[in-house]
Structure 1
Amino acid sequence: MPPEIQTYLEKLSKHLQTVLESNLVGVYLQGSGAQNDFRSGTSDLDVLVVVHNQIPGTQKDILASELDHKKLPVPAAGLDLMIVRKYAAQHLTQAPEYEFWFSTGEYWDTTVDKNGSTSEVLMYIATCAEQAQVLSGLDPQQVFSAVPHNILLQTLIDILEWHRTKILDNLHDPLGQYSVLNAARAWMYAEDKKLGSKAEGGMWVLVQESDNELVKNALLIRDEKSTTSPDAKEIDIFLQRVIEVCRAKLA
């Protein structure tokens, strides 16, 4: 990771410790930053924060102010930060509750969601259980339960269904690589039960299908070696195909 990213993560962790104090269990970097798949300029920083108890609204307001890109500039595409209670990280449901979901960045609209529930929390928990980089706090094995295969598979299906509504979306996936590579790693997980990075998923697909030009192009875009956007219908067909594979594994 570039030194400016490490410095930022240290500052972020200190802000969280100052605000949350003894309620804080740990701060964990997950996603591409913890999977050796970070791409400067295009990757965002995915951070999962775990607390013992519910967070007062006043603390959420402070965090939203202190962590805003305008106050604490993010040296990456953006910051995607979620806070969950330790209970939710250990007693899993299909849609775990979160205390706070926050995103900010130079070209991102800063968004604040002060509570809710979604199956996407399970993806965060699963990656932290296997691959988290501890920024502060307890070892991940003391915090996160392993997510059962079928539950995580359903989560990946939910994520791909969401991607189908955002194909070539200017904000979420302007060149289509995120939807394609998320589908690739979902396929890898469905077949091999391995939760890898987007790049690992793409390479796995190319082992199965060396002529898959859609995935080849997505990997080139991720490495900033191409700006050729594929056809939206072609992406959707691939997403539907992977969703069908995942659903078959659930049966």
Structure 2
Amino acid sequence: MERYLSGLAAAAARALGDDLVGCYLHGSAVLGGFDARHSDVDVLVVAAGATSAAQRASLTAGLAALPCPAVGLELSVVTRAAAAGPTAAPRFELHLTTARDDPKVVDGHARGGDPDLVLHFAVCCRAGRVVGPGPAAAAVFAPVPAALVLAQLVAELGWAVGHATGEYAVLNACRAWRFAVDGALVSKVDGGRWARDRVGAADRALIAAALARQRREAAVRLHPAAVAAFVQRIGAHLTAP
């Protein structure tokens, strides 16, 4: 992992030159729960200002040449101004993923903002790790208002039920619940551990099964109806007046 991150930082430096502010690791690699068997390597690259098409193409090519020691890389390039002024859908320069089942390269200049960046910015501000030279994450990423973080966590609940695994949906709901209670941003695994002791027997068993599947300790089946009902209850709790 360290060799990979060093190579990533070097590729960003070659592509962006003096326009590079820094590369910042976030996600499960800094919050905990990272498992190379099913986790992405999550990185935000911050540029001093708008990037050129040549810079974006150079970065994409440089990163494609690096073998990722996990499921894949999920990386976005944002400007320093975007990182310093979080909105409900921050603008971005480039987004790319290298996971085998979902590789993509998206030019942010042709798109609107990306709501997913709300949580990425929030994690970077609180726990991001600078990779290679550059200022500390807290000096680049402004604190994200709690209302924006909670709104994005709630929005992800419905997406997870329809598009993610059962364990992801359950544990994602648990970490959203944790943030709503005390403002802590934690990994899905830590969210599940926290919630497991605060629910009834049926939900406790569901969360325990989700944790076991997430850690690849067991292949217990999560019934889709039970997953959807749990996520719906958490969502109703989070949006209650």
Instruction: Classify the secondary structure of the residue corresponding to 2:103.
Output: strand
**1:101 Cα deviation from its structure 2 partner:** 0.7
**1:47 Cα deviation from its structure 2 partner:** 0.5
Residues 1:109 and 2:102 are matched in the alignment: yes
**1:195 Cα deviation from its structure 2 partner:** 0.7
In 2, distance between residues paired with 1:207 and 1:109? 35
Residues 1:227 and 2:228 are matched in the alignment: no
Match of 2:59 among 39, 63, 85: 63
Q: Give the % identical residues.
A: 32
**1:206 Cα deviation from its structure 2 partner:** 0.9
In the TM superposition, 1:28-67 aligns within 5 A as 28-67=24-63
Residues 1:181 and 2:171 are matched in the alignment: yes
In 1, distance between residues paired with 2:231 and 2:145? 23
Residues 1:159 and 2:156 are matched in the alignment: yes
**1:210 Cα deviation from its structure 2 partner:** 6.2
The TM-score, its normalising length taken from structure 1, stands at 0.89
In 2, distance between residues paired with 1:49 and 1:121? 12
Partner of 1:88: 82
In 2, distance between residues paired with 1:153 and 1:36? 20
**1:40 Cα deviation from its structure 2 partner:** 2.8
Match of 1:199 among 189, 192, 195: 189
Partner of 1:241: 233
In 1, distance between residues paired with 2:152 and 2:50? 24
Q: Which runs of 5+ in 2 are unaligned?
A: none
Residues 1:218 and 2:210 are matched in the alignment: yes
In 1, distance between residues paired with 2:172 and 2:58? 33
- Residues 217 and 228 of structure 1 are in contact (CA less than 8 Å); yes or no, is this contact kept in structure 2? yes
**1:109 Cα deviation from its structure 2 partner:** 3.3
In 2, distance between residues paired with 1:127 and 1:245? 23
Aligned length: 235
- Residues 78 and 108 of structure 1 are in contact (CA less than 8 Å); yes or no, is this contact kept in structure 2? no
Partner of 2:147: 150
- Residues 24 and 51 of structure 1 are in contact (CA less than 8 Å); yes or no, is this contact kept in structure 2? yes
Letter in 2 for 1:201: G
- Residues 185 and 198 of structure 1 are in contact (CA less than 8 Å); yes or no, is this contact kept in structure 2? yes
Match of 2:128 among 127, 132, 136: 132
In 1, distance between residues paired with 2:54 and 2:221? 44
Instruction: Classify the secondary structure of the residue corresponding to 1:155.
Output: helix
Instruction: Classify the secondary structure of the residue corresponding to 1:39.
Output: coil
Render the CA deviation track for 1:39-74: whole Å, top value 9, x for unaligned: 132211111111111111122222222212xx2111
